[in-house]
Structure 1
Amino acid sequence: MDAQSQWTGLDAGRLDRITDHIERNYIQPQKIAGCQVMVARHGHQAYFRSFGHMDLSRGKAMRDDTIFRIYSMTKPITSVALMQLYEKGLFQLNDPVSRVIPSWKGHRVWVSGDGDQMVTEEPKRPVSFRDMLCHTGGLTYGSMLAMLGAPDSGNPVDKAYATHNVRRGDGQTLEDFVQALSRVPLRYQPGERWQYSVSTDVCGHLIEALSGMPLDEYFQKNIFEPLGMVDTAFDVPDSKLDRFAANYRRGPDKKLQMIDDPQQSAYRKKPTFLSGGGGLVGTTADYHRFTEMLRRGGELDGNRILGPRTLELMHRNHLKGGGDLGTMAIGAFSETAYDGVGFGLGFASTLDEVTSGSLGAGDYYWGGAASTIFWVDPKEDITVVFMTQLIPSATFNFRGQLKSIIYSSIVD
């Protein structure tokens, strides 16, 4: 056994099957332009490799320090940031969000009908901070689903998002956004179901309101600087543009089509809407430092981001009655499978290996719209970060395939 295998308990030869799998199944047939895979165990890097290209049209090879759009992998960072304020006693999980956003006191819950004929009822309880962290508050992604690579469900509540101008684009602010949401009915009674939603953008507003700081400044001071996440931000400055990857989708002919050219990208300037739900860019190295902090119970290199008990609370299952997403979820759009999977305060978690058909019970994770993924497994002491740029994320099951290879490489 080589030294690396002794440190990590991972068989280096078996782990290197990742290389053949990615090259043969994705890079050579150009199903993706390129990607990076980082695997660490017990705090030691076991595998890191860059594949393919960051920009096919310009012939630019994937760099180890490539900057990616991480989209919804922003959500765990936002959730950690909000829970830092929980640790300061600024809110309790069951507090109503209307304590901070008074206009939310008028929320109604959809029952039936559409448009002017819509029938609504009073919520049985207010939408809580826990609901925003868990996606159990009755919010949806509304008419924005199509932009995220998923078909609009056509539910009357989703249509109401467009009617009331609920947008996350440039020119909007988090304050505009939450006020528009106050005019939209909830899709279901708070806490009764789960639906992937704009809730984490609301968490971004709550961070600003409770801390008195813009979200980007809060992230920089309280997460990025302490963790040494030097390339994670809401925009890509000119000095780093050469490292910014192109973003792609798979066309009807199954060939890659560029959908966001780094040279023309909206990420070249700071947005007015600081999306806590999906606005960040960053590197594999940066996100690895975030996952290492999680693995170590909230601390890295002497900088404590969260208390260990707070973090344990975050990745426990908070769904009603201890249920899984298979029984609680509305809609098929999210960054996880549903059966045997629970959801906590910003993370999904594998509850049962048999039901989920996946190893790693007790792990917690999330992904992004461009097929990026990460997970932390406290039992096996593993962290994994996978970066690529392919929308939508449901195109290929990278997480499942990597788990099969990585977990079968554990030999201790």
Structure 2
Amino acid sequence: MSALKTEVEPGEVGLDAQRLDRIGTHFAKYVDSGKLAGWSVAVARRGKVAYVAHHGQRDVDAGLPVTDDTLWRIYSMTKPITSVAALMLWEEGALELTDPVSRYIPSFADTRVYRSGSALNPGTEPVVEPVRVWHLLTHTSGLTYGFHHAHPVDEMYRGKGHEFGPPRGHDLATACDTWASLPLLFQPGTEWNYGVSTDVLGRVVEVASGMSLAAFFRERIFEPLGMTDTGFHVSGEEDLERLATLYVPKPGGGLVRSGAMAEAITREPTFLSGGGGLASTLYDYHRFTQMLARGGELDGVRLLGPRTLAYATRNHLPGGADLETIGRPIFAESTYQGTGFGLGFSVVVDPAAGKQLQGLGEYGWGGLASTAFYVDPVEELSVVFMTQLMPSSTYPIRPQLRVLVSQAVVS
């Protein structure tokens, strides 16, 4: 259990201390008004932590405060970790970005594409080209999520018991075979759609490495980076007490505890979700973002080469398009306007189009429970925000966070 502490006075890294305090003042209002139970935030610049703040409670009913070592469900902030794992294997020659996914998961050799019709009687057509590893990394595979409720294929996922996750007892290999048996939304590489692509990528990591995803994460990423509190489940009385409660908005105002989804992290999982299965702490995820911000290295441990990371954090969408142009108009953990997508990260391609105070080339992602992180390579900034409110679209936390951080940059 490690605490994240400030390492430098803000002024030493070009940040205004009084302006940084606006972050805490603003988000304290979320807690005081009953919109959030509690939160943690960290801002680092030029490799030094300049601002850390916590406010509110990790469990309102029990009266337990947010602390340095509070554990948070990070959901889709798992995706960049899985993507880094795949990129590490790419660097080692264990896989190629152009490999058909069927090389690792044979059931994907028979995948077809939705053309028309209902969930009960869909018309399909053959794929023009197979789903490849880079399609998984960029969410251009045609895979989807059952919880979108936007398309007959989404309904087909739910019909197989896949909404926010697979049926209980299904492992990652079984889930991938199920998804491969259902039609893709579109021809691979032609559109962008948020879905189970990164879960499938996690299975590719398992097959290519010969290790379970949990073991790969632990041995190749978490232990080298000192991320001792990050994993697929939380167990033991002491750790369970540190786990923040997951909340959803209550009609008419206030918060109510989430149901079964909240408890999933407390059980040893059969299904290792590379798309959304991890819990972590502010300290641990800060360590991960610092590795990214430093070009793939932290404290003498190098996970990726700087050229690999630079390649991964550029826009890989066809024709250099943004999500607004090529993405299906459904839920995602970023804005669509002015945002492209790289190999596991959203990437800002036009700051003005997004109507947010973002930097060109800024990359990051968020999670279903309103967590978020981003790295701005130009300003040498990295930011991590943790809370537990589902869904993340409830409040404009992320754009407000970006403004509050950016307005504190004075040199």
Interval of TM-score (by shorter of Structure 1 and Structure 2)? over 0.9
Q: Is the contact between residue 82 and residue 198 of structure 2 (CA under 8 Å) also seen in structure 1? A: yes
Taking only aligned residues, the RMSD between alpha carbons, in angstroms, comes to: 1.5
Which range is displaced more, 352-361 or 308-317? 352-361
State whether structure 2 residue 183 is matched by structure 1 residue 190. Answer: no
Correspondence for 1:404: 403
Identity of aligned residues (%): 48
Structure 2: any 5+ residue segments left out of the alignment?
1-7
Correspondence for 2:70: 66
- Deviations 1:47-69, CA, capped at 9 Å, x for gaps: 10110000000011111110000
Alpha-carbon shift at residue 398 of structure 1 (Å): 1.2
Q: Give the Cα–Cα distance (whole angstroms) in 2 for the partners of residues 207 and 88 of structure 1.
A: 12
Pairing partner for 1:12 from 8, 17, 36: 17
SS at match of 1:86: helix
Q: Is the contact between residue 265 and residue 277 of structure 2 (CA under 8 Å) also seen in structure 1? A: no
Alpha-carbon shift at residue 266 of structure 1 (Å): 2.7
Correspondence for 2:198: 200
- Deviations 1:336-390, CA, capped at 9 Å, x for gaps: 1101000011100111111111221111010000000000010000000000000
Q: Is the contact between residue 366 and residue 372 of structure 2 (CA under 8 Å) also seen in structure 1? A: yes
The amino acid of 2:225's aligned partner reads L
The amino acid of 1:174's aligned partner reads L
The amino acid of 1:191's aligned partner reads G
Q: Give the Cα–Cα distance (whole angstroms) in 1 for the partners of residues 352 and 120 of structure 2.
A: 46
Q: Is the contact between residue 138 and residue 190 of structure 1 (CA under 8 Å) also seen in structure 2? A: yes
The amino acid of 1:68's aligned partner reads W
Which range is displaced more, 330-339 or 285-294? 330-339
**Alignment of structure 1 residues 356-375 onto 2, 5 Å:** 356-358=354-356, 359-375=358-374
Change (3 A) 1:392 1:325: same
The amino acid of 2:173's aligned partner reads E
Correspondence for 2:46: 42
SS at match of 2:353: helix
Q: Is the contact between residue 324 and residue 338 of structure 2 (CA under 8 Å) also seen in structure 1? A: yes
**Alignment of structure 1 residues 135-174 onto 2, 5 Å:** 135-142=139-146, 145=147, 152-153=149-150, 155-166=151-162, 167-174=165-172
The amino acid of 1:394's aligned partner reads S
Change (3 A) 1:138 1:230: same
Q: Is the contact between residue 235 and residue 271 of structure 1 (CA under 8 Å) also seen in structure 2? A: yes
Q: Give the Cα–Cα distance (whole angstroms) in 1 for the partners of residues 50 and 196 of structure 2.
A: 35
Pairing partner for 1:82 from 81, 86, 90: 86
Change (3 A) 1:195 1:308: same
The amino acid of 2:115's aligned partner reads V
Alpha-carbon shift at residue 91 of structure 1 (Å): 1.7
Q: Give the Cα–Cα distance (whole angstroms) in 1 for the partners of residues 281 and 10 of structure 2.
A: 26
Correspondence for 1:148: none
SS at match of 1:16: helix
Alpha-carbon shift at residue 288 of structure 1 (Å): 0.1
Q: Give the Cα–Cα distance (whole angstroms) in 2 for the partners of residues 116 and 22 of structure 1.
A: 46
SS at match of 1:402: helix
Q: Is the contact between residue 57 and residue 63 of structure 2 (CA under 8 Å) also seen in structure 1? A: yes
Alpha-carbon shift at residue 407 of structure 1 (Å): 0.8
Structure 1: any 5+ residue segments left out of the alignment?
146-150
Q: Is the contact between residue 9 and residue 411 of structure 1 (CA under 8 Å) also seen in structure 2? A: yes
- Deviations 1:219-238, CA, capped at 9 Å, x for gaps: 00000000000100111121
